[in-house]
């Protein structure tokens, strides 16, 4: 993102705002998409944008300044200085001594904030500072920033501070605090146990006004600090017919299982896995919760999780959702069932074939090799597709890996290394949803001007770790499109 900002402002300086906007729009969009891919670490949360601390850490300079003179109106005689307002520095947060209190700055700003409004402004390129779009902040936010910048880079002490702002009346601070939690690995959230405001969490979880994305976070936190009696409330929510009550169902089920343990699995099986007509989105949420427990929790033994996932093999149209998990967790006992699914596949379930081949490629048992030879004769196209993307030797060398699949789209992903996926708190969501992406129950939160520089779309529960997602390809395509515009505009030179 730092490099992206450097490019943006240097181009504006060379070719003006109007042409720069045309050139940089696709590049910026691609950059935002790429930033979004690594924005979230909480298993069920999606960071909205860079946090204040990340924004300042990635900049060469950062100041708090007050608006002293609004930008002049747009004029044909003033194309290069359009939107430049005048600010006066009131505090230097980062940068050299030249950014002294009282110094005047001219920065592009299209907002309508009144004179005297405090702004956070960051800049890149120390030799010739290019300033980003100012963010209006309150006096309370100024105090928040001063304290946040002094916190440890990670750990419980940091989260304790941000916890007090999760539902702050200043929405800018509430969202920044949420983003701090959303980028924290689950292991980091668990360190907060003993300091979490349990009663507040229960109230927020039941508040219909709380955004689903935040409810996911609060449910994840409740799983860390919850009491056995809390499972009664969570079960009631899971059983509800009100979609609003069940919003954030993946995190809801995960929290319930953490508190209830193996005794809670039958409820999940009966409502979401065994039922042939169970809602697809709810079934997938249940699978995500089980996957989370298999990767990051120990409340339910993995053998019990596998037993639950086996019910999905009785639903051929959705069986491919769990085949990667079966391979990752080395459940070779279902090999015969999967081969039967392959042989009985119809036009409506044919996408199960490549995942089955990937499963067999990952299996170290001699019987798997025999099955591969047999299935290659039945469907050479599927075999060719699978073996080209998932070499059998590689798969067998890493038998614990999960061959992710993307069936209908034809963009099968490489096996996912479980240990690598866990590194740095990343999720290991290796089974991609075979149907068109289901609308998540979590709403995309916006942050006004912060989204002009960095934003994260709603977390996709379908994206496998370690494999290119649709968002990745969209970002790459956007950057290539931007490069094309650059060539068309003559390399960005004036008058080209």
Average of per-residue pLDDT across 113-134: 94
- The band of 23, judged by pLDDT with boundaries at 50, 70 and 90, is very low
Average of per-residue pLDDT across 127-154: 95
What is the predicted pLDDT for the residue at 404? 38
Token pair for residue 485? 């515009």
Helices 198-206/212-225 angle, 10° precision: 150
What is the predicted pLDDT for the residue at 480? 55
Average of per-residue pLDDT across 84-90: 95
Token pair for residue 173? 């601070």
State CA 264 to chain mean position distance: 27
Q: Identify which has the larger pLDDT, 309 or 24.
A: 309
Token pair for residue 424? 């740095």
What is the predicted pLDDT for the residue at 76? 63
Q: Identify which has the larger pLDDT, 13 or 100.
A: 100
| Average pLDDT across the chain, whole number | 78
Token pair for residue 460? 């996709």
Average of per-residue pLDDT across 380-386: 91
* 324, 357 contact by CB (below 8 A): no
Give CA–CA dist 143/137, Å, rounded: 10
Helix (H, G, I), strand (E, B) or coil at 241: coil
* Tokens 């600010």 found at: 87
What DSSP line would sit under 271-319, residue for residue?
Answer: IIIS-TT--HHHHHHHHHHHHHHHHH--SS-HHHHHHHHGGGGG-TTTT
What is the predicted pLDDT for the residue at 75? 64
- The band of 81, judged by pLDDT with boundaries at 50, 70 and 90, is low
Q: What is the DSSP letter of 21?
A: H
- The band of 412, judged by pLDDT with boundaries at 50, 70 and 90, is very low
State CA 144 to chain mean position distance: 25
Indicate yes or no: pTM above 0.85: no
- The band of 481, judged by pLDDT with boundaries at 50, 70 and 90, is low
How many C-beta atoms lie closer than 10 Å to residue 411's C-beta? 15
pLDDT tens, residue by residue, 246-285: 999 999 999 999 999 999 999 999 999 999 999 999 999 9
pLDDT tens, residue by residue, 43-63: 898 887 899 999 999 999 999
pLDDT tens, residue by residue, 169-212: 999 999 999 999 999 999 999 999 999 999 999 999 999 999 99
Q: Identify which has the larger pLDDT, 160 or 32.
A: 160
Give CA–CA dist 39/49, Å, rounded: 7
How large is the C-alpha radius of gyration of the chain? 26
Give CA–CA dist 64/91, Å, rounded: 5
Q: What is the DSSP letter of 451?
A: G
**CA distances to 17, 482, 487, 488, 492 from 23, in Å:** 10, 6, 10, 9, 8
What is the predicted pLDDT for the residue at 482? 53
Give CA–CA dist 276/317, Å, rounded: 10
């Amino acid at each position: 993102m730092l490099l992206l900002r450097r490019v943006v402002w240097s181009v504006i300086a060379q070719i003006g705002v109007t042409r720069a906007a045309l050139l940089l729009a696709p590049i910026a969009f691609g950059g935002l998409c790429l930033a979004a891919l690594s924005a979230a670490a909480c298993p069920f949360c999606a960071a909205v944008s860079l946090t204040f601390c990340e924004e300042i850490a990635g900049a060469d300079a950062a100041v708090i300044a007050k608006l002293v003179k609004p930008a002049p109106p747009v004029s044909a005689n003033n194309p290069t200085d359009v939107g430049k307002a005048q600010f006066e520095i009131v505090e230097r947060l980062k940068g050299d001594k030249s950014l002294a209190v009282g110094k005047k700055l001219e920065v592009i700003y299209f907002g309508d904030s009144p004179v005297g409004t405090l702004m956070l402004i960051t800049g890149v390129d120390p030799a010739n500072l290019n300033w980003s779009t100012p963010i209006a902040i309150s006096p309370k936010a100024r105090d928040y920033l001063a304290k946040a910048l002094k916190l440890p880079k990670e750990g419980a002490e940091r989260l304790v501070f941000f916890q007090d702002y999760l539902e702050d009346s200043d929405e800018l601070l509430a969202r920044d605090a949420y983003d701090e939690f959303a980028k924290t690995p689950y292991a980091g959230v668990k360190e907060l146990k003993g300091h979490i405001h349990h009663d507040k969490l229960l109230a927020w979880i039941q508040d219909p006004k709380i955004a689903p994305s935040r409810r996911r976070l609060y449910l994840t936190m409740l799983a860390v600090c919850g009491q056995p009696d809390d499972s009664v409330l969570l079960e009631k929510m899971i059983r509800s017919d009100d979609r609003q009550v069940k919003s954030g169902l993946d995190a809801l089920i995960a929290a319930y299982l953490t508190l209830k343990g193996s005794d809670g699995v039958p409820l999940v099986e009966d409502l979401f896995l065994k039922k042939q007509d169970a809602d697809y989105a709810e079934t997938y949420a249940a699978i995500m919760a089980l996957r989370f427990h298999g990767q990051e929790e120990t409340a339910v033994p993995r053998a019990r999780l596998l037993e639950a996932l086996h019910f999905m093999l009785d639903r051929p149209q959705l069986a491919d959702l769990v085949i990667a998990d079966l391979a990752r967790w080395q459940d070779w006992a279902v090999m015969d069932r999967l081969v039967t699914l392959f042989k009985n596949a119809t036009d409506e379930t044919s996408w199960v074939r490549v995942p089955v081949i990937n499963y067999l490629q990952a299996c170290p048992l001699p019987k798997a090799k025999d099955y591969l030879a047999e299935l290659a004769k039945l469907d050479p196209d599927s075999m060719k597709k699978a073996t080209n993307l998932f070499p059998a030797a590689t798969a067998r060398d890493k038998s614990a890996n999960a061959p992710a699949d993307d069936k209908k789209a034809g963009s099968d992903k490489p096996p996912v290394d479980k240990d690598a996926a866990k590194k740095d708190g990343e999720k290991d969501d290796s089974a991609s949803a075979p149907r068109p992406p289901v609308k998540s129950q979590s709403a995309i939160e916006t942050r006004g001007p912060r989204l002009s520089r960095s934003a994260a779309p709603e977390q996709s529960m379908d994206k496998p770790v370690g494999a290119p997602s649709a968002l990745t390809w969209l970002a790459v395509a956007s950057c290539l499109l931007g490069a094309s515009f650059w060539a068309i505009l003559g390399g960005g030179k004036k008058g080209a």
